[in-house]
A and B are shown apart, each in its own frame.
Chain A
Amino acid sequence: MSNRVPFLAAVLTVVAMVGCGRNPSVEQETPQQLAKVEWPDIVARAKGTGVTMAMWAGDEARNRFFQGPVTRTVAADLGVTLRIVPVADAADVVNKLMTEKSVASEARGSIDVVWINGENFRAARQADVLWGPLADLVPNRRTYDADAGTRDFGTPTDGFEVPWEYSQFVFAYDSARMKDPPRTLDELRQWIARHPGRFTYPAIPDFTGSAFIRHVLLHAASVSPEVFAEGFDERLYARASQAALNVLREMRPNLWRRGETYPATPAELNRLFVNGEVDFSMSYGPTFASERIARGEFPPTVRTFALEEGTIANYNFLAIPFNAPNPAGALAVIDALLSPAHALAKIEAIGGMLPHALASLSEDERRKYDALPRGAATLPLDVLSARRVAEADVEYLIRLERDWRRTVLQP
């Protein structure tokens, strides 16, 4: 038979490939075991190993910074080979971990460090797919305020993730088109009513769009926005969401394309903004406009503002998956990423805010921090910190997103 040769070749190829499959079960160190190990010994164990970190990677400057300087610093200082795995959404990683937990919970996984927060952290905790608690094992955790990131969207972190970066929501406008941007949510509402079709926000479940409607929730009820961070209260939600959804429904006919459609992502909103179809953009990153101006994606006249009654600010976090192949290496890398030196280098390279307690910076670091250039579109730190509210409990987020779909998207 003339066709036996290729068939045999195919079978052999498949058999050879199956033979290459990795040996799945390898002893993993527990948090309790590593808690008994002195830090220099953990660093010594990490030396010469590889660490895989999964992080959102949709930003060229960020990718360039992590694939380049960060990877090189980690290799030089710790002797660790850092591998960055790009993910489009941390939810993908949590789903993968959940599948791995249900199918092969004893097997070694592939990811050592994951960049995470909010809903994804809560889902990961509920499914018990994180390794920890790890907060006390990372020395540089102490360069952050002690109460920083003890809650993540209201969910107690319990040391299963450590605060890493700090962010605050801002709006962007073009000063060449608009001289006097709204200062409060109420002024923004009036502006939208007077300028039909010139405002929109990314549709839920987009992260940025969801943050926008949370601002309406936090500021629509006449209570201090901070109470939303103190756990979920059914009665407060009923009152606040009714007011907020009314505001959003009233806004809808005056949105871009009469609110019949929304941009799906911040990227689409930014495109509408720079092409002059709408007059505002928004982001959970206070330096985003300066970064985009530098890249030539925003005109140099774009500026940002924060609402006078406050915009939402929050930490995001680093965590270790339950089946991480190299927890000691993961701890060493997380410690390096939590250092003020890393934060300063990052602000210089790609922008962002300093997440540390200023008091924990050395004199040298403080001088370096004060000398960092701030993009023209970025608000001064004192303005941002004066207009800051905590992120609401994640239950408010889930309920508001659901009710927005039911009553604003399809009234």
Chain B
Amino acid sequence: MAIVTAVGCLALAPLALLAVTSLGRRWFWPDLLPPEWSLRAWQYITSSDAGVMGALATSLALSGVVAITAVLIAVPAARVLALRRVPCKGLLTFGLLLPILTPPLAAAMGLHAVFLHLGLADSLAGVVLVHLVPAVPYATVMLAGSFAGFDTDWEAQARTLGAGRFAVWTRVTLPTLAPGLAVAGTFAFLVSWSQYLLTLLVGGGQVLTLPLLLVSFVRGGDEAVGAALSLLFIAPTLVLFAGAARVMRDV
């Protein structure tokens, strides 16, 4: 119990520091706490002029679509990789992982050129597709792990007992895979959620996400706004992990 508390405190300490930074004013060494408090940063990021709420909505929608699409692509891929005999399986897996093995900058610049050729640069559709490039490998690897422990005889048994294809899928396959799907979806969401370079290059600034704003402010040195945006950036991650943990515990 003591260890859990200690780990919890360690995990929460940086968040508390961010919260204080976002609210502090004239906070210089050697003051332990800010001598003045101010809502400036929070007022700014919630004001309509800042565009933060729009970027938050874009990020949520974008990462949501990427997560769902990535899982949809990953389910059949992972099933085949985990359960079937496939020639050159090692090579296939390697190819699947290549996008996350190559240095991000090199991959991003090459993808930008490809997307320009396809006329997909500077559009939301292009950004969704380019986020899938790193998101799908993560989701597939996660799900392949789940499928490895999946016994297809359960499906066969349900069919024998008269269940239709759809019933087998919703009553047997999905519930068994739920934890894997939750984790894969969470990872795909977070991979997309934290993309900076791919969004910047392929979105061309037309697709404004939270990381783009966050990097601008942190580089610009406005610590209070940077801290407030960081907290906003972390929030969905915490919610998602709590949700995924719950799905895994329930099963």
| Beta-carbon contacts under 8 Å, B138-194 to A | 155, 165, 168-169, 173
Chain A: residues with CB nearer than 8 A to chain B?
Answer: 2-7, 9-10, 13-14, 17-18, 20-24, 52, 54, 56-60, 63-64, 67-68, 85-88, 92, 96, 99-100, 103-104, 107, 109-111, 265-268, 270-271, 274-277, 295-297, 299
Contacting pair A276 B221 (CB below 8 A): no
CA–CA, A86 to B208, complex, Å? 8
Partner among A3, A13, A67, A276 whose Cβ is within 8 Å of the Cβ of B50: A67
Contacting pair A10 B72 (CB below 8 A): yes
Contacts A2-B165, A296-B38 given: A60-B222 contact, CB under 8 Å? yes
Chain B: residues with CB nearer than 8 A to chain A?
Answer: 25-26, 28-30, 36, 38, 40, 44, 47, 49-51, 69, 72-73, 75-76, 79, 109, 112-113, 116-126, 128-129, 155, 165, 168-169, 173, 200-201, 204-206, 208, 212-213, 215-223, 225
CB distance from B9 to the nearest CB of A (A): 25
Across-interface contacts of B117 in A (CB, < 8 A): 103-104
CA–CA, A7 to B79, complex, Å? 12
Across-interface contacts of B155 in A (CB, < 8 A): 2
Across-interface contacts of A24 in B (CB, < 8 A): 119
CB distance from B126 to the nearest CB of A (A): 7
Contacting pair B221 A6 (CB below 8 A): no
Contacting pair B128 A9 (CB below 8 A): no
CA–CA, A18 to B116, complex, Å? 13
Contacting pair B50 A10 (CB below 8 A): no
Contacts A68-B49, A111-B205 given: A17-B220 contact, CB under 8 Å? no
Contacting pair A59 B222 (CB below 8 A): yes
Contacting pair A99 B225 (CB below 8 A): no
Contacting pair B125 A17 (CB below 8 A): yes
Candidate in B30, B122, B213 with the most chain A CB atoms within 10 angstroms: B122
Contacting pair A88 B215 (CB below 8 A): yes
CA–CA, A296 to B219, complex, Å? 18
Contacting pair A87 B219 (CB below 8 A): no
Contacting pair A276 B49 (CB below 8 A): no
Contacting pair B128 A17 (CB below 8 A): yes
CA–CA, A22 to B207, complex, Å? 14
CA–CA, A7 to B120, complex, Å? 23
- Minimal Cβ-Cβ distance residue in A for B51: A67
CA–CA, A14 to B120, complex, Å? 12
Partner among B69, B112, B168, B223 whose Cβ is within 8 Å of the Cβ of A99: B112
Contacting pair B28 A6 (CB below 8 A): no
Q: How many A-B residue pairs have CB under 8 A?
A: 149
Partner among A56, A100, A295 whose Cβ is within 8 Å of the Cβ of B116: A100
Partner among A9, A20, A104, A274 whose Cβ is within 8 Å of the Cβ of B72: A9
Across-interface contacts of A92 in B (CB, < 8 A): 200
CA–CA, A4 to B79, complex, Å? 12
Contacting pair A85 B28 (CB below 8 A): no
CB distance from B206 to the nearest CB of A (A): 5
Contacting pair B212 A86 (CB below 8 A): yes
Contacts A18-B120, A296-B25 given: A64-B165 contact, CB under 8 Å? no
Across-interface contacts of A297 in B (CB, < 8 A): 26, 222-223
CA–CA, A104 to B123, complex, Å? 16
Contacting pair B120 A87 (CB below 8 A): no
Contacting pair A111 B125 (CB below 8 A): no
In the A-B complex, the 9 residue pairs with the closest CB atoms: A58-B220, A267-B221, A85-B205, A296-B25, A275-B29, A68-B49, A110-B122, A17-B125, A10-B72
Partner among A22, A59, A274 whose Cβ is within 8 Å of the Cβ of B220: A59
CA–CA, A109 to B119, complex, Å? 10
Partner among A2, A103, A295, A296 whose Cβ is within 8 Å of the Cβ of B168: A2
CA–CA, A59 to B30, complex, Å? 26
CA–CA, A91 to B237, complex, Å? 32
CB distance from B105 to the nearest CB of A (A): 11
Across-interface contacts of B30 in A (CB, < 8 A): 276
CB distance from B172 to the nearest CB of A (A): 9
CA–CA, A109 to B73, complex, Å? 31
CB distance from A327 to the nearest CB of B (A): 17
CA–CA, A5 to B72, complex, Å? 9
Contacts A59-B220, A265-B221 given: A111-B204 contact, CB under 8 Å? yes
CA–CA, A86 to B201, complex, Å? 13
Across-interface contacts of B122 in A (CB, < 8 A): 22, 109-110
Across-interface contacts of B119 in A (CB, < 8 A): 21-24, 104, 107
Contacting pair B116 A99 (CB below 8 A): yes
Contacting pair B219 A267 (CB below 8 A): yes
Contacts A60-B44, A88-B216 given: A3-B75 contact, CB under 8 Å? yes
Partner among A13, A20, A87, A111 whose Cβ is within 8 Å of the Cβ of B69: A13
Contacting pair A110 B120 (CB below 8 A): no
Contacting pair A52 B205 (CB below 8 A): yes
Across-interface contacts of A96 in B (CB, < 8 A): 112, 201, 204
Candidate in B79, B109, B205 with the most chain A CB atoms within 10 angstroms: B205
Across-interface contacts of A3 in B (CB, < 8 A): 75-76, 79
